[in-house]
Amino acid sequence: MLKIGVLGAGHLGKIHIKCIKELKQYELVGFYDPDERTATETSQKLGVKKFADMEELIDAVDVVDIVTPTLSHYTCASGAIRKSKHVFIEKPITNTIEEAKSLMSLSREADVKVQVGHVERFNPAFVSARKDLDNPMFIETHRLAQFNPRGTDVSVVLDLMIHDLDIVLSVVGSNIKRISASGVAIVSDEPDIANARLEFDNGCVANLTASRFSLKNMRKSRFFQRNAYVSVDFLNKTTEVVKMRDIDGEPDPFSMSIDLGEGKGQKEIFFEKPTIEPNNAIKDELESFAVAITNNTTPPVTVEDGYNALDVAYKIQAKLKISTPVGSNS
242 burial level (CB within 10 Å; 0-12, 13-18, 19+): middle
Quote the CA–CA distance of 223 and 171 in Å, as a whole number.
10
Residue range(s) in the chain whose domain bears CATH number 3.30.360.10: 122-244+313-323
Which pLDDT does position 254 carry in this prediction? 59
**307 in Cβ contact with 93 (< 8 Å):** yes
Residue range(s) in the chain whose domain bears CATH number 3.40.50.720: 2-112
Quote the CA–CA distance of 213 and 217 in Å, as a whole number.
9
SS3 label, residue 33? coil
Pick the CATH number of 2-112 from 1.10.10.10, 3.10.290.10, 3.40.50.720, 3.40.50.1370: 3.40.50.720
Which pLDDT does position 153 carry in this prediction? 61
SS3 label, residue 56? helix
Full pLDDT tens readout for the chain, 330 residues: 999 999 999 999 999 999 999 999 999 999 999 999 999 999 999 999 999 999 999 999 999 999 999 999 999 999 999 999 999 999 999 999 999 999 999 999 999 999 999 999 999 999 999 999 999 999 999 999 988 766 556 789 998 999 999 999 999 999 999 999 999 888 877 888 999 999 999 999 999 999 998 989 999 999 999 989 999 999 999 999 998 877 666 666 656 767 666 766 677 788 999 999 999 999 999 999 999 999 999 999 999 999 999 999 999 999 886 544 544 444
Quote the CA–CA distance of 193 and 209 in Å, as a whole number.
8
Which pLDDT does position 267 carry in this prediction? 76
Quote the CA–CA distance of 78 and 102 in Å, as a whole number.
8
Residues with Cβ < 8 Å from 78, sequence gap 6 or more? 102, 103, 106
Terminal CA-to-CA distance of the chain, rounded, Å?
57
What phi and psi values does residue 312 have, to the nearest 5 degrees?
Answer: -65, -40
Quote the CA–CA distance of 285 and 65 in Å, as a whole number.
12
**CATH of segment(s) 122-244+313-323:** 3.30.360.10
Cα atoms found within 13 Å of the Cα of residue 253, Cβ hemisphere only = 0
Give the CA distances from residue 210 to residues 82, 222, 235, 281, 308, in Å, rounded to whole numbers and listed in that order: 36, 14, 14, 22, 19
